């Protein structure tokens, strides 16, 4: 089965699934306690007793979270790969308008950053998995988490993902704006607004210590991103079928008649 006509829908659907899994699995397991403990290692912003409690809680949460988080990250990675496939086969033609070409290129940048952040998170949690969970392993995990490089890696991945979310929103908007065959402009405005606000909240949150204000920004980021991702997934089911899909017969590709402003799906990446 040729999945190319469905890559955008599959990619966004997988990312939406990962988001739902995150909120239904990680939060009940008190995943925020892990982040607080990880921050305590670096910021030393707790009293000695509270610091010890935060560190122990971070280790306990890491043991509980590692398996479900790895599954969620793999789903996210699958979604990003399908979006990369959509972008790779996206071709605007020689006379296509610049806005559509810009949207395709921005989508490529967003996917690249998304893959980078997700791969980095997979490496981190894959390292956590090697600790079996015994007392000796928990001590080793505590030493591992207490290194400043771990927090820096987490911080960097968070910033990269926030930037990718902003670029995703702009790219989806440009793709819709410059495709006359769909009627999803209200959805495109919603996607662009939610994605950009979510990304900005994420960037600001990354610069703040783990206080109540930063926690509020984090929740706002999740709400905005969740809404934008839901709308983007719905939009993909309207947008992608409007693209002209090549039909294959043997080794020859027959492309239907098209206008210069309508995108085609071809086995050629965007030039430039």
Whether pLDDT at 189 is above 50? yes
Q: Which of 8, 26, 40, 18 is nearest to 210 (CA)?
A: 40
pLDDT of residue 135: 61
pLDDT digits (tens, 9 = 90+) for 125-154: 777 767 655 665 666 766 666 666 666 777
Give the lowest-confidence range in 25-34, 111-120, 200-209.
25-34
- 128 neighbors 66 (Cβ within 8 angstroms): yes
- 130 neighbors 160 (Cβ within 8 angstroms): no
pLDDT of residue 36: 59
For the chain, give the percent of residues with pLDDT over 90.
33
Q: Which of 132, 138, 8 is nearest to 82 (CA)?
A: 8
- 204 neighbors 217 (Cβ within 8 angstroms): yes
Whether pLDDT at 21 is above 50? yes
Q: How far is the CA of 175 from the CAs of 8, 19, 107, in angstroms?
A: 12, 23, 9
pLDDT of residue 124: 77
Residue 219 pLDDT class (50, 70, 90 cuts): confident
Average pLDDT, the chain: 75
> How many residues does the structure list for the chain?
272
- 68 neighbors 31 (Cβ within 8 angstroms): no
Q: How far apart are CA 46 and CA 145, in angstroms?
A: 16
pLDDT digits (tens, 9 = 90+) for 50-94: 555 656 666 666 767 778 888 999 999 999 999 999 988 775 444
Q: Nearest 10 degrees: CA dihedral of 47, 51, 54, 57?
A: -130
Q: Which residues pair with 90 in a beta bridge?
A: 265
Determine the straight-line distance between the first and last CA of the chain, rounded to whole angstroms. Answer: 30
Burial (0-12, 13-18, 19+ Cβ within 10 Å), 167: buried
pTM of the predicted structure, to 2 decimals: 0.78
Q: How far apart are CA 130 and CA 89, in angstroms?
A: 38
Q: Which residues pair with 253 in a beta bridge?
A: 248
- 165 neighbors 56 (Cβ within 8 angstroms): no
Residue with tokens 């949150």: 205
Which is higher by pLDDT, 248 or 209?
A: 209
Whether pLDDT at 43 is above 90? no
Which is higher by pLDDT, 57 or 255?
A: 57
Q: How far apart are CA 111 and CA 116, in angstroms?
A: 8
Count the neighbouring beta carbons within 10 Å of the beta carbon of residue 77: 19
**The most confident of 97-101, 127-131, 133-137, 168-172, by mean pLDDT:** 168-172
Q: What angle do CA 169, 223, 174 make, to 5 degrees?
A: 10
Whether pLDDT at 270 is above 70? no
Q: How far apart are CA 79 and CA 22, in angstroms?
A: 14
Q: Which residues pair with 249 in a beta bridge?
A: 252
């Amino acid at each position: 089965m040729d999945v190319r006509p469905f890559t955008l829908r599959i990619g966004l659907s997988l990312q939406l699934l990962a988001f739902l899994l995150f909120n239904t699995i990680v939060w009940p397991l008190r995943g925020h306690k892990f982040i607080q403990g990880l921050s305590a290692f670096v910021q030393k912003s707790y009293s000695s007793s509270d610091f010890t409690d935060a560190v122990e809680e971070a280790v306990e949460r890491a043991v509980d979270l590692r398996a479900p988080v790895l599954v969620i990250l793999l789903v996210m990675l699958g979604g990003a790969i399908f979006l990369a496939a959509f972008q790779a086969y996206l071709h605007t033609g020689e006379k296509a308008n610049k806005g559509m070409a810009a949207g395709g290129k921005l989508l490529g940048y967003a996917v690249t950053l998304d893959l980078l952040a997700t791969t980095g998170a997979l490496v981190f949690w894959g390292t956590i998995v090697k600790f079996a969970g015994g007392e000796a392993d928990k001590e080793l995990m505590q030493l591992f988490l207490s290194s400043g490089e771990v927090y820096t890696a987490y911080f960097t991945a968070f910033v990269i993902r926030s930037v990718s979310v902003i670029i995703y929103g702009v790219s989806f908007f440009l793709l819709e704006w410059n495709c006359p065959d769909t009627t999803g402009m209200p959805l495109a405005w919603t996607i662009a607004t939610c994605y950009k606000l979510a990304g900005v909240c994420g960037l600001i949150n990354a610069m703040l210590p783990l206080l109540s204000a930063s926690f509020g920004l984090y929740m706002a980021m999740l709400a905005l991103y969740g809404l934008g991702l839901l709308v983007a997934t719905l939009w993909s089911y309207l947008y992608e079928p409007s693209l002209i899909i090549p039909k294959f017969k043997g080794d020859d590709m027959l492309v239907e008649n098209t206008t210069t402003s309508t995108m085609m799906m071809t086995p050629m990446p965007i030039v430039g």
